[in-house]
Amino acid sequence: MNVTPLAQELNQVIGREAPVVLELLSSLGRSLYFPKGIISQSAEAKEKGKRFNATIGIAIEDGVPMHLPSLGKLFAMAPEDVFSYAPTAGRADLRRLWREKQLAENPSMRGQRVGAPIVTSALTHGLAVAGDLFVGAGDPIVLPEHYWGNYNLTYKVRLGAEMVTYPLYDGDGFNCAGFAATLDRVARERSKAIVLLNFPNNPTGYTPARGEAERIRDAIVRSAEKGLRQVVLCDDAYFGLFYDDACLEESIFGLIAGSHPSVLAVKLDGATKELFAWGFRVGFLTFAAGGGGDLDLVHAALEKKAMGAIRGCISNSPNLSQAAIARMLASEGVAAERRAKRDLLCARARRTRAVVYRDEFAEAWDVYPFNSGYFLCVRLKGVDAEALRVHLLDAYQVGVISSGSTDIRVAFSCLEESDIEEVFRTIHQGWRDLVRAR
């Protein structure tokens, strides 16, 4: 793949300050750069073109972005925050506010050398940008057997990666030994791996305890010491929704950042679930390289490459959504509002736990441990999961998700607390229907 002089300059910076990070880049990642074209020239003109600015492709009227009054009246925000383009890496105010939030909620990030958050069009886009930078055909993606199905499209279908899985659980906790053994096996066969950590887990709703998280980090570091170069993707989509004191109540990203020169940590988070703003599509991508070089230069170079991936795909994320999230983060009441919603979800999780483990349901399923997020999963006994899903829809108008042949995922997040018992009783009745029909 052709590497332009601008991409070569970024590669030289990365190779000088963090050689392993350069080796971790995919072929596409090595070729990515942010062009010195319309966007960068417009940014310069915005700063210096005080008299006239005839650069950016929007229309101006009376000093503000031209807009239709029928659309403008729908928003209680300045036209500049609604109709203008946002910078490729995101609004500066939003990036600053999100960094402040990250540091406030993740003590292990404080004092670490970490790049500035880059705005993406929610987490799926951020995962795809990280894939463009680091995932090549045949690269192993190490992740648990219970994982979000969209990873297949993002990495396996789009980029040709190989999914290497391990059982998520060992008894009632995270399978630290299985995770370490899988990394050891990959290290014997490969020199590079992408490790995907999604906590709280989708679909099971599990977050490790701190001791388990430290063992995960230690396994990553031991594999790095054996020569395995790793990109560790921390998918924190459901961050903050913890319902058990035993959970690690911060992102594992903070533990992994800077842990070894051969480990690049990447944090994917966003407003989607954390701020209950699903349709706004505001996410963030944050880099943390290891080693003793000038990591600020490394992070800046990676940011330029990420900006190239964004520019070449969607150009930039919506300004309106970013401005709204920035305004919300700066408001005084947002913390209390978030606590109230988390407490509501916590009550639903507690009610779900009180119901789903009842002895009367033991004939139908076993429950995978859950302590966070939106979901739980049950492992069915003697009944096909897809058959039960369809039967529940047809006979009882109840919707759940089937995963593989044995697992059913239930989103207690979208159930009123008063309805939770009825939902599980109906699932149990559907299971009995299928058992009797055999």
Convert the pLDDT of each residue in 85-100 to its tens digit: 999 999 999 999 999 9
Question: In terms of domains, do 10 and 30 share one?
Answer: yes
For residue 73, being part of any structural domain is answered with no
Q: Which residues contact 71 (CB under 8 A, 6 or more apart)?
A: none
CATH number of the structural domain spanning residue 316: 3.40.640.10
Domain that holds residue 401: 335-437
Q: How far apart are CA 79 and CA 73, in angstroms?
A: 10
Q: How confident is the model at residue 248 (pLDDT cuts 50, 70, 90)?
A: very high
Q: How far apart are CA 350 and CA 344, in angstroms?
A: 10
- Which of these three, 329, 355, 377, is where a domain ends? 329
| Interval 107-136 mean pLDDT | 97
- For residue 140, report the phi and psi dihedrals to the nearest 5 degrees: -80, 135
Biggest alpha carbon distance in the chain?
80
Q: How confident is the model at residue 118 (pLDDT cuts 50, 70, 90)?
A: very high
Question: In terms of domains, do 299 and 340 share one?
Answer: no
Q: How confident is the model at residue 38 (pLDDT cuts 50, 70, 90)?
A: low
**Strand 192-198 and strand 140-144: pairing?**
parallel
Q: How confident is the model at residue 421 (pLDDT cuts 50, 70, 90)?
A: very high
Residue 294, judged by CB atoms within 10 A of its CB (0-12, 13-18, 19+), counts as middle
- Which of these three, 262, 294, 329, is where a domain ends? 329
Question: In terms of domains, do 261 and 166 share one?
Answer: yes
- Which of these three, 269, 300, 329, is where a domain ends? 329
Q: Give the type of residue at 80.
A: E
Total domains present in the chain: 2
For residue 325, being part of any structural domain is answered with yes
Question: In terms of domains, do 147 and 267 share one?
Answer: yes
Question: In terms of domains, do 177 and 222 share one?
Answer: yes
Q: Which two tokens stand for residue 318?
A: 């919506």
Question: In terms of domains, do 260 and 404 share one?
Answer: no
Q: What 3-state DSSP class applies to 118? A: strand
For residue 116, being part of any structural domain is answered with yes
* Beta carbons of 371 and 244 less than 8 angstroms apart: yes
Question: In terms of domains, do 174 and 319 share one?
Answer: yes
Question: In terms of domains, do 322 and 408 share one?
Answer: no
| Interval 117-130 mean pLDDT | 98
* Beta carbons of 86 and 318 less than 8 angstroms apart: yes
pLDDT at site 37 = 67
Q: How confident is the model at residue 52 (pLDDT cuts 50, 70, 90)?
A: confident
For residue 54, being part of any structural domain is answered with no
188-220 per-position pLDDT tens digit: 999 999 999 999 999 999 999 999 999 999 999
Q: Give the Å distances, CA to CA, from 110 to 133, 194, 300, 302.
A: 26, 25, 19, 21
